[in-house]
Amino acid sequence: MDYLYYLRKEKMPHIWCDGCGHGIILKSILRVIDKLGWEKDDIAMVSGIGCSSRTPGYVDFNTLHTTHGRAIAFATGLKIVKPNLHVIVVSGDGDATAIGGNHFIHAARRNIDLTVIIYNNYIYGMTGGQASPTTPIGKKASTAPYGNPDAPFDISRLAQAAGAAYVARSTVYHVGKTDRYIEQAFLKKGFSVVEVMTPCPTSYGRRNKEGNGVEMMMFQKKNSVGVERAQKMSEEELQGKIITGVFVDKEQNNYLQRYDEVIDKAKQINQ
């Protein structure tokens, strides 16, 4: 396929560091769009603030770069007004689950038909490596110089608990899985989340002596465990592992379908 067809070529090369996995995720997104044959005019990509949130600037869709954490709120309004648009939200771990955590769980509860791709790199990369809600306990960040005292969120489990219709996790190394999950998420008529683990060698790897992008991807390769296998493993065995796979894939009416029912009831009563 021709990636360049979907890119705003004059904005390239992108700002992401060498070894950063964000570009790999973007490629997965574009491959799936290409496979599904979606028209560029029919796609809106919405983001908040951070490295991941620079994605919309590079793609030739209807693109909206909003305020920190609020992408899902903007996307909700856009989707309601233009239900035929494919609305894709791209977000980081901090953007989606710290400042935007409330919007994230409520969009899942509401089951609004959006796909949120979360680039999880355990850190606020763009601003110099501050701790995020997914930074593991004890790991170093510029705001956790002695090790992070905070416990991390498991974003996929959070989305699952909040009621999302589709939730899956992959890593940038497992590019085939990422493609498959993103495709399933795009086709889901409800709130779908794909969490992709992506290395931040500059702001996280270096500080935590986890090496460059290649070494961090090697870690993903060696330490990922499928969700089925993980169920048979003890908590100790799962320490430091990345559980990948599809956590939720269910059919339930989405917000717009439920609002259609509201319209029917309202019209019956008011006719």
Partner 1 sequence: MKKISKITINEKWCKSCEICVQFCPKKVYDMGRFYPVIARPEDCIACKLCEKLCPDFAITVTSPDKAESNKK
Partner 2 sequence: MENIPNPNVRMWQGNVACAEGAIAAGCRFFAGYPITPSSEIAEVLALRFPVIGGNFIQMEDEIAAMGAIIGGSLGGAKTMTATSGPGFSLKQENIGFAVMAEVPCVIVNVQRGGPSTGLPTHAAQSDVMQARWGTHGDHPIIVLCPSSVRETYDLTIRAFNLAEKYRMPVILLSDEIIGHLTEKIEIPEPSTIEIIDRKKPTDTPENYLPYKMDDSDIPAMANFGEGYRYHVTGLAHDETGFPTNDPKKIRAQMLRLNRKIQRFRNDIVEVETFNTDDMDVLVISFGSTARSAKRAVINAREKGVKAGLLRLKTIWPFPDKEIEALYKPVRKIVVAEMNLGQIAHEVEWATRREKPVVRVNKIDGEPITPNEIFEAIIS
Q: Which residues bind partner 2 (CB under 8 A)?
A: 11, 40-42, 44, 46, 56-57, 60-67, 70, 72-82, 84-85, 102-103, 106, 255, 259, 262-263, 265-267, 270
Q: Backbone phi, then psi, for 163, in 5-degree steps? A: 110, 15
> Kind of pairing, strands 62-65 and 242-249?
unpaired
- The residue range among 39-47, 140-148, 187-195, 213-221 that interacts with partner 1, by the rule CB under 8 A, is 213-221
* Nearer residue to partner 2 within complex by CB, 118 or 141: 118
Using the minimum distance from each CB to partner 1, give the nearer residue, 111 or 171.
171
Among 34, 113, 155, 172, binds partner 1 (CB under 8 A): 172
Q: Which of 196, 145, 142 is nearest to 32 (CA)?
A: 196
Q: Residue 131: which of partner 1, partner 2, none does it interact with, CB under 5 to 8 A by kind?
A: none
CB of 205 to partner 1, least distance (A): 12
Window 14-53: residues binding partner 1 (CB under 8 A): 14, 16-24, 27-28, 31
Identify which of residues 28 and 120 has a Cβ nearer to partner 1 in the complex.
Answer: 28
Pick the binder of partner 1 from 75, 217, 243, 248 (CB under 8 A).
217
CA angle in degrees (0–180, nearest 5) for 66-108-99 = 40
Picked from partner 2, partner 1, none, the partner binding residue 77 (CB below 5 to 8 A depending on kind) is partner 2
Mutual angle of helices 22-36 and 175-187, in 10-degree steps: 50
* Residue 245: strand pairing partners: 169
Query: Is 105 or 242 the residue whose CB approaches partner 2 more closely?
Result: 105
Q: Which does 211 bind (CB under 5 to 8 A by kind): partner 1, partner 2, none?
A: none
Q: What is the DSSP track for the chain? A: --GGGGB-GGGPSPSPPTT-SHHHHHHHHHHHHHHHT--GGGEEEEE-SSSGGGGGGGBSSEEEE-STT-HHHHHHHHHHH-TTSEEEEEEEHHIIIIITHHHHHHHHHHT-S-EEEEEE-SEETTTT-EE-TTSPTT--BTTBTT---SPPP-HHHHHHHHT-SEEEEEESS-HHHHHHHHHHHHH-SS-EEEEEE---IIIIITTTT--SHHHHHHHHHHHEEEHHHHHTS-TTTTTT-EEEEEEEE-----HHHHHHHHHHHHHHHH-
| Residue 31, contacted partner among partner 1, partner 2, none, CB below 5-8 A by kind | partner 1
Q: Does 219 bind partner 1 (CB under 8 A)?
A: no
Least distance between partner 1 and beta carbon 136 (Å): 23
Closer residue to partner 1 (CB): 152 or 213: 213
CB closer to partner 1, 78 vs 175 = 175
Tokens of 218: 């090697």
Partner interacting with residue 207 (select from partner 1, partner 2, none; CB below 5-8 Å by kind): none
Nearer to partner 2, 85 or 238 (CB): 85
Using CB under 8 A as the criterion, which residues of the chain lie in contact with partner 1 when the complex forms? 2-4, 7, 12-14, 16-24, 27-28, 31, 172-173, 175, 212-214, 217-218
